[in-house]
Copies of this chain bind each other. A is one copy, B any other.
């Protein structure tokens, strides 16, 4: 793998890595229906808020979500919408597998 190609692959892999955790994936799915604040996301995933916040940092760093502070609350919104479409394809594959 050339150095340039490796850098490219690393950048791409960062996005997949960010999506490679159940809690982060659940948050991305939830954000597919519109922006949510951290406290709402915490209820969805059910872990400590500090943990949720760290996960959100990962998603933000990967460019998957945008953050917007309004008052005391921080609202997160999904940026890479095609992730939701890909999830549908993933779900179809998982269903096929569970049937066979």
Contacts and interface: CB of A to CB of B under 8 A. Distances in A.
Interface string A42-64: 00111000000000000000010
A21 interface: yes
A19 B29 CA distance: 18
Which of A16, A17, A20, A82 gathers most chain B CB within 10 Å? Answer: A16
Given A13-B25, A16-B16, A82 B89 contact: yes
B1 A90 contact: no
A55 to B, nearest CB: 12
Nearest to A97: B63
Contacts of A22: 1, 6, 9-10, 12-13
